[in-house]
Amino acid sequence: MTRDPRFDILFEPVKIGPVVAKNRFYQVPHCNGMGHARPRAHAAMRGVKAEGGWGVVSTEEVEIHPSSDVSPYIEGRVWDDRDLPALTLITDAIHKHGALAAIELAHAGMNAPNLYSREVSIAPSHVASPANYAPAQARGMTKADIAAYRRWHRNAALRARRAGFNIIYVYAGHGLSLAMHFLQSRHNQRTDEYGGSLINRARLLRELIEDTKQAVGADCAVAVRLAVDELRGPCGISADGEGREVVEMLAELPDLWDVNVSDWPNDSKTSRFAAEGYQEEFVRFVKTVTTKPVVGVGRFTSPDTMVSQIRRGVLDLIGAARPSIADPFLPKKIKNGDIDDIRECIGCNVCVTGDYTMTPIRCTQNPTMGEEWRKGWHPEAIPPRSGEDSFLIVGAGPTGLECARLLGRRGYSVHVAEAGEQLGGRVTRESRLPGLAAWARVRDYRLNQLNKMQNVEILRGSRVTANEVLEFGATRVVLATGARWRRDGIGRANARPIPGFDLTRGVLTPDDLLDGMPAAAGPVVVFDDDHYYLGGVLAEKLRSEGHEVTLITPADRVSAWTVNTLEQHAIQRRVLELGIEVLVNRNVAEFDGTRIVLECTFTGRQTTVSAASVVTLTSRLPNEELAESLGAMPESANAAGIVSVTSIGDCWAPSTIAAAVYGGHRYAREFDCPPGDEVAFQRELADPSNT
């Protein structure tokens, strides 16, 4: 029983073939930058999800063979028996808390560049490698290759069962798997029984399901992850076309349908481009054509939405990747009626950047993600205080609020002095920009927690001087005063100020716009040498206010870094659709108040663009005036009983909101056990004796 009977339905067990999930919370496959390379960290992360109440916890895509080597990306691996100890660590961690363990067996076909294994990539038909313009091709598979692939898949399923997995996936999703490549008519030009008609193109998927059921079906459920719509209209698989036909054809064959849209950026859409539940229109047909349980996704964080999905017969199981990353304890919180303690995913896809940069996963909302084993951080269990320190935190942005939340949870007495009347710092300001409203959850979750604490007090409208800090009486001072954008143009492309970049000529920073300062009437140039989301968002805002906007960037595309959050394509499309002119590979040489001189980054050839205002995003400067003042009076600080003054977050080194939250969290966890010169986390070292 849950505290709120409306949510009881979410905790009903669901039979999936020969196994039973204890509830309807299903952590769908998600990679994490740890995969096969960092198995202890990986297992600990999955274990925390199971502890948090997820009925099913899945791996990420797991390569079944060296010809599916997606290096340098770090996914799971079940190439041979030597991978079993690492996989068993994961299943043990999941089973310890009564959850089912699922493994997504994957062969990436043409998407596997095989850079480590040096195998030749395989595909339904000969095709150029889609990976990073690599000068390579995938070979069209012979019948013998197909037979071998089926054998590898079957062997991987048998191994997965030995490793203790309860649910074994056949993966035909995201356009990233061989089984899906065979389904896609544009990739499958075969003329034999595996090509041509849909029945033929689906033959391999059918055989894989049958092989897997035959191999392990008595003990393990066999799930299919299928992309039912590629959002390409009639040129691709669609929910009212071949996506539906495939499910109809194979309706009762698997034990579970896990259905979503493709490709990955469409599936993991950010909150800027899609609302919670956005996949419903594509997947709702599935339950009408099969009696097997259906899991689907859509950044589900609201228990009411989840209940509605079940009651309206859209889904049987609530699939979640990002909501389980932002709050591994989401199911338990719903069960216990702690709804306002849920740390809701903000849909920023910083979690995806771990995969893209081949480093352990991180999350804006959940700073413990990826640190469960490395640092022993748990998202809910926090060590109690170790002494009698009291804290003054200056600044109530994401860093200050997270630091206060954690210190408060540890039982310390904390005061937060915020210069302004509004809390949340850059999160509050940026969440007012087009498409970023959900980002305010970073502030709201923390304020909600802080409001419940007697030992934390927030002082608004309190711009403190160094002397006031000394007089305050806290033993530890934490400076979280944020950063401000530079106006002078110094950044990646320009090491020296850009001539004419000053306020008198109408050069504005993002801070000016966020403070409500209008751009001058007339055309506006946005100079984006920051390359994350803000340049594109501000261009969008200015365009919606009626300005003619030109976005200029030294990069080769708009918001270049958002490739790592899967948004770049959607951002550039939106910018172009809004009629914003885009000039890439251009640096700014100077601005005279009416004309901006540009330089091609390759040739140096100069051109000009008219501009009444320029909005410049190049780099930021930490707000470190208070730190400098306090640093200049160490004796007074000593005399005032201050043990430490520490700058954290953007006022130490400006970065992402995720890094700002992490900085606040880290200080609160570690101020009383600083690592000194030691490496601050556990590492998984290569063992030369292990071959």
Ligand X SMILES: Cc1cc2nc3c(=O)[nH]c(=O)nc-3n(C[C@H](O)[C@H](O)[C@H](O)COP(=O)(O)O)c2cc1C
Name which of ligand X, ligand SF4, none residue 70 binds, using a CB cut-off of 5 to 8 Å depending on partner kind: none
Encode 502-546 in three state secondary structure.
CHHHCEECHHHHHCCCCCCCCCEEEEECCCCHHHHHHHHHHHHCC
Cβ burial, residue 170 (10 Å; 0-12/13-18/19+): buried
| Per rule CB under 6 A, count of chain residues that contact ligand SF4 | 13
**Which residues are annotated as catalytic?**
31, 171, 174, 267
Residue 299 within binding range of ligand X, rule CB under 6 A: yes
Cα torsion angle, 398, 400, 406, 408, sign: negative
Distance CA 509, CA 517 (A): 10
DSSP 8-state code for residue 649: G
Contact flag: residue 63 with ligand X (CB under 6 A): no
When asked if residue 416 is in the footprint of ligand SF4 (CB under 6 A), the reply is no
Q: Which of 394, 397, 383 is nearest to 474 (CA)?
A: 394
Q: Does 29 contact ligand SF4 by CB under 6 A? A: no
Q: Which is nearer to ligand X, 174 or 426 (CB)?
A: 174
Residue 263 interacting partner from ligand X, ligand SF4, none (CB closer than 5 to 8 Å by kind):
none
Nearer to ligand X, 28 or 651 (CB): 28
Out of ligand X, ligand SF4, none, what residue 39 binds, judged by CB under 5 to 8 A for its kind, is: none
For residue 621, the minimal CB distance to ligand X (Å) is 32
Binding to ligand X by CB under 6 A, coded x per residue (else -) over 137-176, reads ------------------------------------xx--
The tokens of 589 are what? 């040489």
Beta-bridge mates of residue 40: none
Name which of 61 and 207 has its Cβ closer to ligand SF4. 61
Query: Cα separations (Å) of 193 from 162, 238, 368?
Result: 33, 22, 50
- How far is residue 217's CA from residue 209's CA, in Å, rounded to a whole number? 10
Nearest to 447 by CA among 480, 430, 420, 423: 423
Position of tokens 């069960």? 335
Is 55 a binding residue for ligand X by CB under 6 A? The answer is no
How many residues belong to the site for ligand X (CB under 6 A)? Answer: 23
Does position 349 bind ligand SF4 by CB under 6 A? Answer: yes
CB neighbour class for 561 (10 Å; exposed up to 12, middle 13-18, buried from 19): middle
Between CA 85 and CA 92 the distance in angstroms is: 10
β-partners of residue 139 are 122
348 part of the interface to ligand SF4, by CB under 6 A? yes
From the list ligand X, ligand SF4, none, partner contacted by residue 444 (C-beta under 5 to 8 A by kind): none
Q: Which is nearer to ligand X, 28 or 525 (CB)?
A: 28
Minimum separation from the CB atom of position 445 to ligand SF4 (A): 10
Judged by CB under 6 A, the residue of 50, 246, 294, 346 near ligand SF4 is: 346
Name, in order, each residue with C-beta under 8 angstroms of 634's C-beta and a sequence gap of 6 or more: none
Q: Please tell me whether residue 322 binds ligand SF4 under the rule CB under 6 A.
A: yes
Q: Is the dihedral of CA 563, 569, 575, 576 positive or negative?
A: positive
User: Which range, of 319-327, 460-468, 524-532, 590-598, touches ligand X by CB under 6 A?
Assistant: 319-327
Alpha helices in 59-171 (DSSP H): 84-95, 143-162
* Residue 347 in the binding site for ligand SF4 (CB under 6 A): yes
326 binds ligand SF4 (CB under 6 A): yes
Q: How far is it, in rounded angstroms, from Cα 112 to Cα 149?
A: 14
Residue 588 near which of ligand SF4, ligand X, none (CB within 5-8 Å, type-dependent): none
Query: Quick one: 331 or 347, whose CB is closer to ligand SF4?
Result: 347
Residue 326's binding partner among ligand X, ligand SF4, none (Cβ under 5 to 8 angstroms by kind) is: ligand SF4
The three-state DSSP-derived secondary structure of 135-147 is CCEEEECCHHHHH
What is the C-alpha to C-alpha distance for residues 169 and 660, in angstroms, rounded to an integer? Answer: 37
Residue 588 binds to ligand SF4 (criterion: CB under 6 A) = no
90 lies in the binding site for ligand X (CB under 6 A): no
CB of 662 to ligand SF4, least distance (A): 11
Q: How far is the CB of 344 from ligand SF4 (least distance, A)?
A: 8
Q: Which is nearer to ligand X, 259 or 551 (CB)?
A: 259
Binding segment for ligand SF4 among 163-171, 197-205, 341-349, 668-676 (CB under 6 A)?
341-349
> How do 595-600 and 586-591 pair as beta strands?
antiparallel
Nearest C-alpha neighbor of 402 from the set 456, 345, 332: 456
Token pair 């970065």 is at which residue?
655
Closer residue to ligand SF4 (CB): 350 or 382: 350
State the Cα–Cα distance between residues 62 and 40, nearest whole angstrom.
16
Range 350-369, binding ligand SF4 (CB under 6 A): 350-351, 363-365
Closer Cβ to ligand X, 58 or 618, answer by number = 58
Only one of the segments 29-37, 428-436, 603-611, 673-681 lies at the binding site for ligand X (rule: CB under 6 A); that segment is 29-37
Which region, judged by CB under 6 A, interacts with ligand SF4, from 136-144, 222-230, 348-356, 380-388?
Answer: 348-356
**Which does residue 365 touch among ligand SF4, ligand X, none (CB within 5 to 8 A, set by kind)?**
ligand SF4
Query: Nearer to ligand SF4 by C-beta: 14 or 325?
Result: 325
- Binding string, residues 466-505; x marks residues near ligand X by CB under 6 A: ----------------------------------------
Binding to ligand SF4 by CB under 6 A, coded x per residue (else -) over 158-197, reads ----------------------------------------
Cα–Cα distance, 182 to 188 (Å, whole number): 5
Q: Alpha-carbon distance 239 to 286, whole Å?
A: 9
β-strand pairing of 14-16 with 19-21: antiparallel
CA distance 28 to 327: 14
Evaluate the omega torsion of the peptide bond into residue 263 and state whether it is cis, within 30 degrees of 0.
yes
Query: Measured from the CB atom, is 436 or 469 closer to ligand SF4?
Result: 436
Q: Which residues in this chain contact ligand X in the complex, by CB under 6 A?
A: 28-31, 60-61, 104, 173-174, 225, 260, 267-268, 297-299, 320-323, 351-352, 355
Q: Which residues in this chain contact ligand SF4 in the complex, by CB under 6 A?
A: 322, 325-326, 345-351, 363-365
